[in-house]
Chain A
Amino acid sequence: MSEHVVPVRIYFIIFATLLALTALTVIVSGIDLGRLNTVVALAIAVTKAVLVILYFMHLRYSTGLTWLVVSSGFVWLGILILFTMTDMLTRSWMMLTR
Chain B
Amino acid sequence: MSERSAAFAHQFDDAEQQHDASTLGMWVFLVTEIMFFAGMFTVYVAYRSLYPEAFVHASHHLDVLLGGINTTVLITSSLTMALAVHAAQLGRRRPLIIFLLLTIVLGSTFLVIKSFEYAHKFHEGLVPGPWFSYHGPDAGGQQLFLSIYFAMTGVHAAHMVIGIVILSILVWQARRGRYGTSYYTPVELSGLYWHFVDIVWIFLFPLLYLIGRHT
Question: Interface on A for B, CB 8 Å cutoff?
Answer: 1-3, 5-6, 8, 11-12, 14-15, 18-19, 22, 25-26, 29-33, 37-38, 41-42, 44-45, 48-49, 52-53, 55-58, 62-63, 65-66, 69-70, 72-74, 76-77, 80-81, 84-85, 88-89, 97-98
Excluding A5-B89, A6-B86, A22-B72, 11 further A-B contacts by CB distance (< 8 Å) are: A15-B79, A19-B75, A22-B75, A29-B210, A37-B214, A44-B206, A49-B202, A49-B203, A69-B27, A77-B38, A84-B46
Cβ B24 vs Cβ A38 within 8 A: no
* Interface of A: prevailing SS: helix
B206–A45 contact, CB under 8 A?
A: yes
Partner of B35, one of A12, A48, A70, A76: A76
Give the Cβ gap from A7 to chain B, nearest Cβ, in Å: 9
Interchain CB contact under 8 A, A74 and B34? yes
A45-B203 in contact given A6-B86, A22-B75, A77-B34 (Cβ < 8 Å): yes
Tell me if A29 and B86 are in contact (CB < 8 A). no
Determine if B198 and A52 form an interchain contact, defined as CB atoms under 8 angstroms apart: yes
From the candidates A41, A44, A85, name the one contacting B45 in the complex (CB within 8 A). Answer: A85
Task: Tell yes or no: B78 within 8 A of A by CB.
Answer: yes
List the interface of chain B (C-beta within 8 A of A): 15-16, 19-20, 23-24, 27-28, 30-31, 34-35, 38-39, 41-42, 45-46, 49-50, 64, 68, 71-72, 75-76, 78-79, 81-83, 86, 89-90, 182, 188, 191-192, 195-196, 198-199, 202-203, 205-207, 210-211, 213-215
Of the residues A49, A62, A88, contact of B23 by C-beta under 8 Å: A62
Partner of B38 from the list A14, A62, A81 (CB cut-off 8 Å) is A81
With a cutoff of 8 Å between Cβ atoms, the chain A residues found around residue B213 in the complex are: 26, 29-30
Known: A5-B89, A45-B202, A80-B42. A73 touches B35 (CB 8 A): yes
A-B contact pairs, 7 of them (CB 8 A): A15-B79, A37-B211, A41-B210, A66-B24, A73-B31, A73-B34, A89-B49
Chain B residue at smallest Cβ distance from A15 = B79
Q: How far is the CB of A65 from chain B (nearest CB, A)?
A: 6
8 Å CB contact of B24 from A18, A25, A63, A76: A63
Chain B residue contacts of A65, Cβ below 8 A: 20, 24
Task: Enumerate chain A residues within 8 angstroms of B23, measured Cβ to Cβ.
Answer: 62-63, 66
Question: A19 to B78, alpha carbons, bound, how many Å?
Answer: 12
